[in-house]
Amino acid sequence: MAPRRDAARVLLRIAFRNLLASPVRTGILGAIVLVGALIVVVGSSVLDSIDRGMRTSIQGSLGGHLQVYDARSEGALELYGGLRGESLLEPIEDFSRVKAVLGQVPNVKQVVPMGIDQALVATGNAFDLALERLRGDVRRLEGGEDGPELRRDYAAHAAHVRRMVQLLRDEIAQAREISDPEGREAAERKSEWEALQRAATDAFWRDLDRDRYGSLEFLENRVAPLAMDTAFTFLRYVGTDVDAFFRAFPLAEVVKGERIPTGQRGVLVGKQYAEEWLKLKNARRLDQIKDARDLRGRRIAGDEELQRWVRENRSGIREILLQLDPIRADALAQELRPALGAPAAEPLDALLGRLFAATDESFDRQYRIFYDVVAPKLRLYQIDVGDTITIKAPSKSGYFSSVNVKVYGFLQFKGIERSGIAGMMSVLDLMSFRDLYGYLTAEKAAEIRALQKSMGTREIDRERAEAELFGAADGGLVGEAHVAEIDEGALVKRREEERASAADLAAHVYSQEELEHGVALNAALILDDPRLLRRTETDVRKAIADAGLGLKVVDWQEAAGLVGQFVTLLRVVLFTAVVIFFAIALVIINNAMVMATLQRVKEIGTMRAIGTQRRFVVTMLLVEIATVGLVFGLAGAALGGAVVWGIRAAGGIPAVTDLLYFVFSGPALFPRLGALAVGGSLAVVLLVAILSALYPALIAMRVTPVEAMATED
């Protein structure tokens, strides 16, 4: 043992002597090793932190730890959207059976039913909303109600609609001066203009009480369509057992309103979706400017995009004016004049233009004025908490289904609330999802039977359909057409009955058994111990096979689709960069060692002449380069640790896109220095250093004493 220790000390002395004897060569080799270690440490720390952040985002929002779906599906499950949509997934016909089987697998804590899809939501334009309020007043008055409060509301709502008609007439009058249509289009435009002119006359509004329903029909059918406002939007949602969803995904929280009551129908709208697509455009642009200034340090004076948003806000006040009835418009103008320091006679449109003409110096003040003075008088969101909305979507059979659901609140996922990837997702109750999907629920079956009974319909055989519908010798479906007046009172009564039926459906409380016995598109599995994910995945596959469920199992990363592969892509990029760097380093170190070895041929030959073994010479060179790798590798790892600490101290790596916000699980990434990153960097640089020294060591091993003696200085 002692001779070995003595030999090691000799080798180290020789190595340090040779390194110190050639400081330039040692510095070059050391710099290469140091930079390599730095890249590995920083890159590994960043990637490990990204992996943790993305795992938190996916597992805490929609993914869980494992996902299962029908193995017959043509598409692949992608929770956050992609080229392969959930529309290609085959349904899980009976979720209760899946839950019963997978719930018994060791380490499976919870099985949550899910179905991700998108639907069309009718939001109505400003005219539609104002006319609906007026129609509500008319319905109550025609139904026999009366009173000063109702009369006051009726007058205010009528005045609001009249003001909207006048604003629309002024807007279209300007457009008529610019455009000059011809032919059929000119006739249509003339008819539209005449209808608008009629609705703007004093006579039309004086006669409103004489034919309330007729006047409303005229406004709804002839005037409101001229507003040309968007009346629908797309909603991406996950249909689920809402209580189970909130237990499974800890990042989910309701930030406005309340959760959908247990067992009832309803929807929680994604907060970020509401901000992006449902919010008043001027308010949204103000928020964007504020975020750009506060979070990104951007300034209006030197930023073309911010300047464009300011211009659009100044010219886009029509949406605000349409929301205000005459009384609220006057009240708003009176509050804005002193707040903005405007003249007493300045009209509201000019005041709003002044308010939105923001500069870097005035923006914060005007932002507060908008939310303190203007916003309370407006409807900021097209869909808000407490509304009942109609959601339409193509069913599995291809026809459109629709459901009416109440908006109970706005939903966000903590830490990633500003991410458009998860923030666009809304949560819908499971029974409404099944209605949209086309699954025949008990309520749907009862509704169909009631319709058949009320309309006197009966089922016919497919084979006899043509004969039954178009007449047959034995007597088919025979009817007699006749003319009759439309009973408006009966229509109103039927509509009231439909409203009452819809209210009963919304108030119905479903049992847990009803929720679980039915269709789901996929299911999330939550584990007791996520560290045992791979073992549990194997157990789940076995349980599925034993029960014959025919399901496919994927982990959270695969279920997330392209988003889940982001870290894998980054690892490939880093690995490729490291390989290229160390390949170049290998060549440089190898050449330097070869030159150093050739310069030391006489020294090596002398050592060989006095009895030094070839193995000792090879070991000497390997120890020399390993010493460089170890010393400078440790220095590079320490420098990498300092860089990681510096990134954290500087506020992390900012998430400049929605994808990065989601991947970082927050507005910034704070990398952590791990033992694996340091150990990995040292292992890599030592391996590269030793490999680069192998060829020079072979050259040194082949040097003989005779060759050394023959070498000239």
pLDDT of residue 32: 77
Pairing of strands 400-413, 522-527: unpaired
Residues in a beta bridge with 232: 122
Give the C-alpha separation, 239 to 434, whole Å. Answer: 8
Tell me the torsion sign for CA atoms 328, 331, 336, 342. Answer: positive
pLDDT average per 10 residues of sequence, the chain (713 residues): 57 60 68 78 82 86 92 85 60 92 94 90 74 84 82 84 82 71 67 84 84 84 72 85 94 93 94 90 93 87 91 86 85 91 88 91 93 91 89 78 92 85 89 84 57 60 59 52 53 52 69 90 94 94 93 90 74 73 66 62 62 66 72 82 87 80 83 74 72 67 61 51
So where are the chain's domains?
2-58+565-710, 64-113+524-555, 126-227
Q: What's 258-274 look like in SS3?
A: CCCCCCCCCEEEEHHHH
Instruction: Name the pTM for this structure.
Output: 0.75
Q: What is the CA radius of gyration of the chain?
A: 37
pLDDT of residue 83: 39
pLDDT of residue 338: 92
Which residues are CB-contacts of 212 (< 8 A; sequence separation ≥ 6)? 138, 141, 142
Pairing of strands 252-257, 400-413: antiparallel
pLDDT of residue 688: 72
pLDDT of residue 237: 92
Give the C-alpha separation, 601 to 612, whole Å. Answer: 14
Which residues are CB-contacts of 329 (< 8 A; sequence separation ≥ 6)? 163, 321, 348
Provide φ and ψ at 654, rounded to 5°.
-70, 145
Please report how the helices 566-599 and 675-701 are oriented relative to each other, as an axis angle in degrees rounded to 10.
30
Integer angstrom CA distances of residue 352 from 282, 337, 368, 369, 471: 11, 10, 14, 11, 67
